[in-house]
Amino acid sequence: MTAAVTDAGDPVALARALVRCRSITPADDGALDTAQRVLEGLGFTGHRLPFRAEGTERVDNLFARLGDGPPHVCFAGHTDVVPPGDAGAWRHPPFDGVVADDALWGRGAADMKGAVAAFIAACARTLRAHGAPPGSISLLLTGDEEGPSVNGTRPVLAWMAERGHTPDCCLVGEPSNPAALGEVMKIGRRGSLNGRLTVTGTQGHAAYPEKADNPVPRLLALLDALAGARLDEGTAHFPPSHLTITSVDVGNTATNVIPGEATAAFNIRFNDAHTPAGLEAWLRDTLAATAPAGTDWTLDVRVTGDSFVTPPGPFTDRVADAVADTTGRRPALDTGGGTSDARFIKDYCPVVEFGLVNATIHATDEHAALADLENLTAIYRRILEGTFAAS
């Protein structure tokens, strides 16, 4: 459903219009149209970029840019949402965009249609006050953040790079604050690696161990070496990396059989002291050095995310200053939590995440305080004005 938004500088009206689109990932239901219409009204040039990787559903995206020179500030966000669950359990219907008790209620109000609306409103107010900026502002809005994230931000970034649209810095509007606006901004993430270690022996009767080769003690020795190792002491912006054994499987239902195979799974959350390739090499070296002679082991490694950090500097300072000037809180620079599309953007430019309060995201009765929507708009406006004043 699309609705006309009369004042682009009003974040609540725009957020309401977006919440009223039932854009349950990967559906759009007019959400990108709503944003595009308002942005084009402000002078942005919009490009709709649908992608469909093999074996996936088609997802629509929007890239909109105003101006063509540096500095180029990009806002990245998503208009898709997670399902509402039992809609009857909500205090207000999840797609009605009800304003009550000084808050906007509905799925996506905080994650993250509210932040998309705040950024667009910030653009409107900046343009109204100063005219066209000496540089460019763009928005990368995807409908594929809550889903598999293959037809969204990643291919849009590649499209942008091919056409000279790579930004100088990027602000991601994910809800970064646990309880109050201004507490936390994210400057990076840990990486995650999943390993599966299998030791193969020879099955046999438990009464005749000399005729079998039990893989279980060999697996335990290898796991002991991995779990006992210290990966690092932590880095400037990250706690120490750690390896966690998540499963040990033999699959043996008998009491008188020595199993032929034993498998273990583990996960490593790693900081910026490591690369996935370096960790895999360390795993293989450690296993090779520890394995008793004749041990037949195999290791399967899958990396679901690399670690990254945008080191504190002018861009992070500008965001932190805008937050502090608006809310009176100096945000902590954090690298914890789950993944976001920042993991793709970090390959192109410095990226920082700051958005609304995440206390109700993905939950029944998701909502955003009207004061927070207004303050987030003020923060984004200060970031834009600071960027162009410094240029």
- As annotated, the active-site residues are 80, 145
Does 366 contact Zn ion by CB under 5 A?
no
Q: Find the shortest distance in angstroms from Cβ 114 to Zn ion.
A: 11
Q: Find the shortest distance in angstroms from Cβ 108 to Zn ion.
A: 9
CB-nearer residue toward Zn ion: 152 or 215:
152
CB-nearer residue toward Zn ion: 174 or 261:
174
Give the range of 111-119, 125-133, 309-317, 321-329 binding Zn ion by CB under 5 A.
Answer: 111-119
Positions in 166-185 near Zn ion (CB under 5 A)? 174
Of 90, 177, 96, 18, nearest in space to 363 by CA: 90
Please count the residues of this chain forming the interface with Zn ion, following the rule CB under 5 A.
3
Does 112 contact Zn ion by CB under 5 A?
yes
CB-nearer residue toward Zn ion: 111 or 385:
111
Q: What whole-number distance in Å separates Cα of residue 139 and Cα of residue 39?
A: 9
Report the residue closest to Zn ion, judged by CB: 111
Positions in 2-31 near Zn ion (CB under 5 A)? none
Q: Find the shortest distance in angstroms from Cβ 159 to Zn ion.
A: 21
Interhelix angle 114-130/31-41, nearest 10 degrees: 10
Answer whether 126's CB lies under 8 Å from 384's CB: yes
Q: Find the shortest distance in angstroms from Cβ 357 to Zn ion.
A: 13
Q: What whole-number distance in Å separates Cα of residue 13 and Cα of residue 22?
A: 16
CB-nearer residue toward Zn ion: 29 or 111:
111
CB-nearer residue toward Zn ion: 97 or 135:
97
**Mask for 40-79, x = binds Zn ion (CB under 5 A):** ----------------------------------------
Give the range of 33-41, 106-114, 300-308, 327-335 binding Zn ion by CB under 5 A.
Answer: 106-114
Q: Find the shortest distance in angstroms from Cβ 51 to Zn ion.
A: 19
CB-nearer residue toward Zn ion: 112 or 279:
112
Residue appearing with tokens 């598999």: 148
Q: Find the shortest distance in angstroms from Cβ 174 to Zn ion.
A: 5
Taking the CA atoms of 172, 175, 176 and 182 in sequence, report the sign of the dihedral they define. positive
CA distances from 197 to 42, 106, 328 (A): 56, 44, 50
Give the range of 14-22, 105-113, 147-155, 190-198 binding Zn ion by CB under 5 A.
Answer: 105-113
Does 111 contact Zn ion by CB under 5 A?
yes
Q: Find the shortest distance in angstroms from Cβ 2 to Zn ion.
A: 21
CB-nearer residue toward Zn ion: 28 or 111:
111
Residues lying near Zn ion in the complex (CB under 5 A): 111-112, 174
